[in-house]
């Protein structure tokens, strides 16, 4: 068994590059349909950005108001919005986001960051 395991490990080394799959962006990004699922999946589920946890509160009931209350949205320069920069490659929360999440966030801010 161990010999088989060794053989398995020796043949396990690869040099692959992952080309990210970026989902097609919707024409109109909806806060409830596109952003809240991201928050629920990656931000508030482990109690981090949940009510009483780390700011901003990204639970469905509070996310929209708290993003503005804590200056996470920069409507004048959407690329500088903390919501986007934290999730995008190089951001401290990037490891919790899936490829494409940051594009959805950016487009939502570019479209005026509506509570739609």
Partner 1 sequence: MKKVILLVAFSITWVFFLTAQDSGTDQKPVNSNRSLLGYFILEDSRPIRNPYESGILIDNQTNVIPTAKTLEFVIQHRFGSLENGFSDFLGIYGAANTRLALNYSITDWAQVGFGTTKNYKLQDFSAKINILKQSRDKKSPVDVTYYGNWAIDARDKDFFGEDYQFSSRFSFFNELLITRQFTDWLTLSAGGSFSHFNAVDTLVDQHDHDKIALHFLGRVKFSPQSSIIINFDLPLQIDGLNSRSDLSSHYNFGIGYEVATATHAFQIFAGTGTYLVPQYNVMKNDKEFFKGTGNIFLGFNITRLWSF
Closest CA to 98 of 87, 106, 109: 87
User: DSSP assignment of 73-108, as one string?
Assistant: --SSSGGG-HHHHHHSTTSTTGGGSPTTHHHHHHHH
Residue among 23 and 112 whose Cβ is closer to partner 1:
23
Q: Closest approach of Cβ 27 to partner 1, in Å?
A: 23
Compare residues 4 and 61 and give the one whose CB is closer to partner 1: 4
Residue with structure tokens 């996310």?
A: 63
- Please, what is the end-to-end C-alpha distance for the chain in angstroms? 57
Q: What is the dihedral of CA 83, 88, 90, 91, to 10 degrees?
A: 20
Complex with partner 1: residue 28 or 46, whichever CB lies closer: 46
Tell me which residues touch partner 1 (CB under 8 A).
Answer: 2, 5-6, 9-10, 12-21, 46, 48, 53-55, 89-90, 93-95, 98-99
Residue 66 CB, nearest distance to partner 1 (Å)? 15
Is 59 or 113 the residue whose CB approaches partner 1 more closely? Answer: 59
CB of 83 to partner 1, least distance (A): 15
């Amino acid at each position: 068994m161990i010999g088989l395991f060794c053989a398995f490990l020796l043949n396990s080394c690869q040099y692959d590059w992952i080309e990210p799959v970026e989902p097609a962006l919707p024409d109109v990004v909806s806060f409830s349909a596109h952003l809240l699922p991201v928050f629920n999946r990656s931000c508030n589920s482990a109690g981090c950005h949940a009510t009483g946890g780390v700011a901003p509160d990204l639970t469905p009931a509070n996310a929209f108001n708290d993003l503005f209350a804590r200056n996470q949205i920069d409507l004048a320069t959407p690329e500088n919005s903390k919501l986007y920069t934290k999730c995008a490659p190089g951001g401290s929360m990037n490891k919790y986001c899936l490829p494409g999440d940051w594009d959805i966030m950016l487009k939502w801010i570019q479209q005026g960051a509506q509570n739609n």
